[in-house]
Chain A
Amino acid sequence: MHHSIDTPEAIWRALDRFLFRVRQPARYVGGEVNSIQKNWDEISSRLVLLFPDTYEIGMSNLGMMILYDIVNEQANMLAERAFLPWVDMEAEMRQRGIPLYSLESFQPLGNFDVIGVTLPYEQLFTNVLSALDLAGFPLRAADRDASWPLVVAGGSAGLNPEPMHAFFDAFFIGEGEEGVLDIMRSYETWRRKFDIRPRVGWHPGGAQLRTTKDILLRSLAHIPGLYVPALYDVRYYADGRVRDIRIKPGYEKDAALPVQKRIMAILPPPLTRYIVPNIKTIHNRPSVEIQRGCTRGCRFCQAGIIFRPVRERPLDEVLRAVDEIIDSTGYEEISFLSLSASDYSRIGELTQAVVAKYADQNISIALPSLRIESFSVQLMETLAQGRRRSGFTFAPEAATDRLRDVINKPISTEALLAVADQVYSRGWTTIKLYFMIGHPTQTMADVEAIADLAHQVWHVGKHYLGHKAKVRLTISTLVPKPHTPFQWVAMADETEIRAQIAYLQHRLGGSAFHLNWNDPRETLMEAFLSRGDRRLSDVIQRAWELGARFDAWEDQFNDVAWQQAFAEHGLDPDWYARRPRDLDELLPWDHIHVGVDKSFLQEQYRLALAGGVVDDCHEHCYSCGILSHYRRERRQAPDDAWGCPALGRGKAHQPVSAHAVPMYFNPEMSPEQANTTRRPQRLSRLQAIGEETP
């Protein structure tokens, strides 16, 4: 596609002719407080951060905003933003030949050095193709020589990079705060050496530019955490399983195998100069990350593995950030970000302090992801400060004690009901419950228990509030994600999922309940995209050609396109989503190492099937691999900054064992092991939630 509209002035003039009739035009023009527009001609190193979904969704992504801030801090670099236009806008842009452009300078993406694509979830894959195409780029990395910008992905959905390997030049694995600068510097060094500057309309072609690009990829592969898929070969068995993953001959000195996740030893200072969108976004508030990582070890949870180790932000740093954010943004709400806010060691002090300071300034505080315990009710009580109490959210994820042992989220139904009692009795009218169906070993009894539990919870509410009491349920289906103990598990059968949802609909039909569930077809897509291998690149491209895009949007999801794309390539989505893997099978993402060893995941999987529960590793280190792979980083951080024990110190308090020590085995699951259980190191947490230990 050739664009005659390729300067910022021409782009703005063209936009101003029709923006009045597209949906929510403000998302296409930038100009927000705290957005940064540097002098384009004076800055040599230029990055555009692309979020391949709408502005409203992308602007809620903390990771992207952190990188924006870090790069713009550098005097010789600039970072701008781009988002995917909604379908109405895309049609207008295509019709007029307006290329995808950045919101700060209105520069076409083709004029940047590096395109940094944020990929937090797999449903964005087809959108990446839309964005590349709308920018005028060849879709495949192999078809882009050195005259094209470098296209790099980062984010959780890139931790199995293989399905998208054909489209990206590189994937950044892990935390990008330092890595982004490494990439920009490495690119700049190469750019100066070969006197290359990507720009719209300059693509002379030729072997020279291809060789130059090869030199670039080679040098990038030396950056820790950067995976350059073109430097690896994957071979398959006849049945489709991966046979081996190797570095291509000649690149052994450049590329790493496995590519290990990059982490920050100490959390960098929190972002405080938040861009303040002029329109409402999905998470219409800034957040302060109080803690990264989670030690709870829920076996279905990818975030719980890939964000290890736990690192806490010091309380005074959090409080200072709150002040600075309110000063610089004027937001009326702020939230504290953590996978499990309850586990932040100073959470009580933190809420007290912010309430004391800001309650009378009409600033409200959001605290997502609280554990099911009475302390959470106290915290919420402090934060509500006499305002309306609407909803209270808990995620038991499974409804029987037995199944919660399997997923390693041990809380008893009794304890849960006791917390529900505290919630309703204090005047909250709604409890939201998150459940997952399709866990391994699940039977229909476990699904029935979801409905039973919902009714029990409601009865607790009715006792205090009558029919004002409500229970909202969100039912999702387990997608066995890469890098989790459940990565070998088959996703549940579609007819089974449908029957289970229908059952729950039937049982929870009254006005007391509100039931949300995911379309099983969309869940299937998430499953094959997250568990796929390199062969899926062709399928993704074909589905996109057939019209698949905005797959995360229910009203846009195009199941037919996906089915046809799979059929045309002789592949089967169920083979990816619903095939149980052998524990020793080479998985398509095995060359990506997130710091947690495969042996640890295997052990957790075995324990899951035996009903073996392990404690939070704050209490007892299970040697998941983090400490051995990040020794250097551990040494750089203060002893109490990490959830993992300090090396060579404190072992007496926090023993490190080579094998996970289950606190107990569920006798229903593993009668022969139920009595052989060793005593857990500390019982405090279990006693706190009222659990009996054998």
Chain B
Amino acid sequence: MSQRKRQRLRVTFSTEGSIKYVGHLDLASVWERALRRAGLPVLYSQGFHPQPKIHFASALPVGVSGRAELMDVWLSPPQQPDDVARRLQPMLPRGLHVRAVFEVPLRAPALQTQVRGAMYRIWVESDATATAFRAQLEALLASAEIFLTRRRKKGVVRYNLRPLIQEVRFLGREEDGYAFFARLQSETGSTGRPDALLQALQLADAPRRIERLCLLGVTLDGCEISVADGAGADVNIPAGECIANQPGH
């Protein structure tokens, strides 16, 4: 049997508004159905339970919006990337947007293995003074270890958040709270979550708005580095660190 020609596309997407409350697994089904509605020939795995071949770079935590999330989707036969973007967008639920689609080599490493960290912009309600809030952030960075507990399926796990915090930068007062920028490690098995950061600040239940500005990781050969829509303009994302969302050359 002759192998049909395949294609691997990298989709950069953003989420906005209420769709941030949809969890990662559910969001995967949302994409799967949108791809089917768009009539795109997604490749399926073989076996008893054929699964569409869609891989995400990193799960977006519930309640967090993403400005430049990444996923790879395999199609067969191959399609024009621009055409895919154009057909996909109208099929998406409110708040989900395709930012870019480009082809990557079939043998490129799995997206998930490329991610090293993520940049977040966090706003949280607080009635502390600016000085006190800043001091709290600095104290976080100054401490050698920050032990937190997390509820998992198999009971409660204690872990150290500190090594997962790569950078925290205070941005200023906004509405009834403060905005700050955080760069957290994000690797399989050791991922710093922004809500853990708020937990460490004793603000676990406070109203917040969290945006993942971009994912950081190993860049692809031949891909230019950029950040969608000027995300993170006020946080100065170091060039050369975000995973690309534009085709090169």
Contacts and interface: CB of A to CB of B under 8 A. Distances in A.
B163 interface: no
Interface string B4-28: 0000000000000111011100110
Contacts of A95: none
Contact of A330 (B34, B44, B205): B34
A16 interface: yes
Interface in A309-361: 326-332
B147 interface: no
Given A20-B62, A388-B48, A31 B18 contact: yes
Contacts of B29: 280
B86 interface: no
A386 to B, nearest CB: 9
B224 interface: no
A18 interface: yes
Given A33-B91, A278-B93, A26 B37 contact: no
A560 interface: no
A9 interface: no
A25 B62 contact: yes
A329 B37 contact: yes
A301 to B, nearest CB: 34
A387 B207 contact: no
A643 B219 CA distance: 66
Contact of A29 (B21, B52, B207): B21
Given A29-B21, A327-B37, A278 B30 contact: yes
Contacts of B33: 33, 276, 329-332
Contact of B18 (A21, A30, A329, A388): A30
Interface string B109-152: 00000000000000001000000000000000000000000000
A19 B37 contact: no
A278 B34 CA distance: 11
Contacts, number: 79
Contacts of B195: 20
Given A25-B62, A278-B19, A330-B33, A17 B49 contact: no
A279 interface: yes
B95 interface: yes
Interface residues on B, range: 20 to 34
A29 B63 contact: no
Nearest to A387: B48
Nearest to A328: B37
B32 interface: yes
A19 to B, nearest CB: 6
Contact of B205 (A21, A280, A387): A21
A32 interface: yes
A676 interface: no
Contact of A362 (B30, B44, B91): B44
Interface in A383-401: 387-388
B21 A330 contact: no
B28 to A, nearest CB: 11
A63 B209 CA distance: 38
Contacts of A32: 93-94
Contacts of A330: 32-37, 91
Interface of B: 17-19, 21-23, 26-27, 29-30, 32-37, 44, 48-50, 52, 62-63, 91-95, 125, 195, 205, 207-209
Given A329-B37, A330-B34, 11 more contacts: A16-B207, A16-B209, A24-B23, A31-B17, A31-B93, A33-B91, A278-B26, A278-B93, A280-B26, A362-B44, A388-B49
6 contacts: A25-B63, A31-B17, A278-B27, A330-B36, A331-B33, A388-B49
